[in-house]
Structure 1
C-alpha cells in the first residue's frame, strides 16, 4: 500500500456521511420539534439582507434547485446545522419561526423575475399582502439535498468540514466560522470565550472598531492570547502555520475544556490586561517619541510583545516588571521595530521576534 493510499484510508475512517433530499416543510417541522439545531451563537451569523432573502424565495417559487446543506448528527441523534445557515434561517424567518425580537417575520422585496413579491409576507389577514396558500405549499414542498455527517465521525473532522465549506466565497470572518462550529463541540467554551472578550480592561486596550467587534475579532484575539501565552520561546519560533495551529488549539481546547483550565486561564487573562490598562490605556498602540505618547490604534505587534509576553510570565510565576509603560517604550525603541518590519513580515516571522523580545524586556 502506498503512502497516499494509507493516508486516504485513515482519513476516510474519520468521517461517515449520508445524503438524501428533504422538503422545506419537513426541515421546518424538525426545527420546531428540536431535532434540527441552530445554536444561538451560530444564528447571530445570519447576515443576509432582505433582497438576498427574497431572491432565495424567488428561486424556490420558480423552481430553481437549491444547493445542498450540511448537518452533523450529535450524540442524541439530532442534526446540528453545519452549512446552509443563510438559507435555512431565511426560510424559518419567512414563516415567522425565528426569535421575533431579533428576526421579525420577513417582508419580501421585489425581485428580478417576481417584482410583485415586494411587500408580501408569509401570512396575513389581508390576502393581498401575503403569499397565497398555493405559493406557501410550493415553498414547503421544495426539496433540499441534505449531506449528513453521522455521529460516529470524529469531532475534529466535523470542525474541519465546516471550515472548508465556509472558506469558498464566504464573507464570514475566521473567528465567526470558528465559533459557529466550536459551539457545536462545546457551547460552554464559546460562551466562556465571549465572556473573556467582554472583560473591561481588554476592551479598553484593544479599542476595536465596531465592525471588527461584529466580526468577532476580539474573540480571535482572546484565542490568540490563550494559544500563544502558554508557549516557550522555542515553541513560538517553531510555528510554521499560525492559523492551522490556532485551529488545532481551539478545537482541542473545546473538546477538553475543564474547570481547572478555565479558572487558571481566566486568572492569567484578567491579571494580564488589568496590569496593562493600569499602566496606560493606549499601551497597545505605537510609541511616538516626538509626542511622548502612544498613537494610533491597537497593533498586533504590541499585543504579542506586551500582552502575550506578560501572560507567559504570570502563568509561569516569573517575576515581571511593574513599569509596563516603560517596557512598551523600550520595545518600540528596538532597532527592529520599524514600520517596514511591522508590515512586511509573515505572522510567523513577526511572532518569532515580537514575543521573545517582549519577554526579555518585561522579565524582571
Structure 2
C-alpha cells in the first residue's frame, strides 16, 4: 500500500463537518443536554482564574478562538473531544455550568486581563460578589461571538475517532497519560469508566499496592488495574510485541468498551480474588522486593512483583492457587531466581522487563 493509499484509507475512517456557531447557540445546546463537556474532566483540565479571564477577554475583543472538536455519539449528542476548558469557562461565566451531580458552579468573576484591566471583578450578569457586570449590549455581543466547531460524525471509525482524541489532548497537556486515558474512556463509554473507577477503589487492591498519595492522585493505580485486565491473559507472542506500554494500554481501551456485563463481572471477580489473596498473604509486602538474606520485604511497590505475582495468579484463576503460605513461598522463589537479581530491571524498558516477568509468573503459579 502506498502513502497515498494510506492517506485515503484513513481519511475515509473519519467523517467530519465544520461550521461556526454562536456562543448563544452553544449555550442552548448545553442547557438542553445536546452537548456533553464531561464535567468529570474538570478535575483534570483545570484552568486558573487568570487563564479563564484571558479567554473571556478574547471573546469580548473578537479574537478568534481555536476550533472546538466534538464527536457525535450514537444518540446524536456532541461529546467534546478538544475544547473542554474553553467551553467550561464560557458556560461558567454565563452562570450555567454544572458539575457531575448537576449542581451549578459559582459563576465566574473575572480577574484583570492583559488588555481589559477593567475586566477585574466583572461578571456576566449582576452578582453580589462582583463589582460590576457586562451591560445588555455587551452580553448580546458575547452571545453572538462565534466558535468554529469541528464535528466528527458518528459514522466515523471508533478507533480512528479516539486516536484523534488522544492526539489533540496530549500536546502540551499537564495531565498524566492515565488521566488522558480516563478522559478517552469516559468519551467512549461512561459505564465502562465507572466500572474501572469502582474496581480501582477495591480496598484490598489499594492496600496491596500501598502507593504514595501523589501516584494515586495521578491515577497510577488505575493504570495498574488496566495492566492487570489487559495483560493477564495476553498470549506470550503478544507480550513480546507490546512495545511502548502506554501506547498499548491506550489502544486496548477500545476493546474494553466492547466488554459486556458478563465479561465485566468476570474480570471484577478475578481482580478481587487475586488481591484478596495477596492481602491475606501479607498485603503490600507481597508486592515489594524480597531480600532473601535479611528475610524481609524492602523498598516501595515493585512492578516486577506485580507482573510476576498478581498477573501470574490472575492468569490461572479460577484454578486453586493455594493458601497464604504457598503464596509467600512463591514470592521468595521469584526473588531468589538469578534472573531477578537486585538490579535486574535497572535501565531496562518496560516491554523488555515484561518479556521475563510475566511468563515467569505464569510458570510460577502453574503448579
TM-score normalised to structure 1 length? 0.91
Q: What is the alpha-carbon distance in structure 2 between the residues aligned to residue 353 and residue 318 of structure 1?
A: 24
Provide the residue aligned with 2:44 in structure 1: 45
SS at match of 1:239: coil
Provide the residue aligned with 2:108 in structure 1: 106
- Retained in 2: the 8 A contact 1:41–1:179? no
Counterpart selection for 1:300 from 298, 303, 324: 303
Q: What is the alpha-carbon distance in structure 2 between the residues aligned to residue 290 and residue 138 of structure 1?
A: 75
Deviation at 1:27, TM superposition (A): 0.9
Counterpart selection for 2:141 from 123, 138, 142: 138
SS at match of 2:107: coil
Residues 252 and 228 of structure 1: is their aligned pair in 2 closer, same or farther, counting only changes over 3 Å? Answer: same
- Which ranges of structure 1 fall in alignment gaps of 5 or more residues? none
Provide the residue aligned with 2:231 in structure 1: 228
SS at match of 2:131: helix
Residues 229 and 91 of structure 1: is their aligned pair in 2 closer, same or farther, counting only changes over 3 Å? Answer: same
Counterpart selection for 1:168 from 171, 179, 197: 171
SS at match of 1:341: coil
Residues 3 and 338 of structure 1: is their aligned pair in 2 closer, same or farther, counting only changes over 3 Å? Answer: same
Q: What is the alpha-carbon distance in structure 1 between the residues aligned to residue 331 and residue 121 of structure 2?
A: 57
SS at match of 1:70: strand
- Which ranges of structure 2 fall in alignment gaps of 5 or more residues? none
Residues 279 and 49 of structure 1: is their aligned pair in 2 closer, same or farther, counting only changes over 3 Å? Answer: same
- Retained in 2: the 8 A contact 1:159–1:182? no
Counterpart selection for 1:259 from 239, 258, 261: 261
Provide the residue aligned with 2:58 in structure 1: 59
Residues 125 and 146 of structure 1: is their aligned pair in 2 closer, same or farther, counting only changes over 3 Å? Answer: closer
SS at match of 2:148: strand
- Retained in 1: the 8 A contact 2:96–2:104? no
Residues 52 and 356 of structure 1: is their aligned pair in 2 closer, same or farther, counting only changes over 3 Å? Answer: same
Provide the residue aligned with 1:275 in structure 2: 277
Match status 1:347 vs 2:350? yes
Q: What is the alpha-carbon distance in structure 2 between the residues aligned to residue 133 and residue 207 of structure 1?
A: 55
Residues 336 and 119 of structure 1: is their aligned pair in 2 closer, same or farther, counting only changes over 3 Å? Answer: farther
- Retained in 2: the 8 A contact 1:15–1:153? yes
Deviation at 1:28, TM superposition (A): 0.9
Provide the residue aligned with 1:189 in structure 2: 192
Q: Deviations over 1:321-347 (max 9, x none)?
A: 642223223322333334543231111
Q: How many residues end up aligned between the 2 structures?
A: 361
TM-score normalised to structure 2 length? 0.90
Residues 62 and 48 of structure 1: is their aligned pair in 2 closer, same or farther, counting only changes over 3 Å? Answer: same
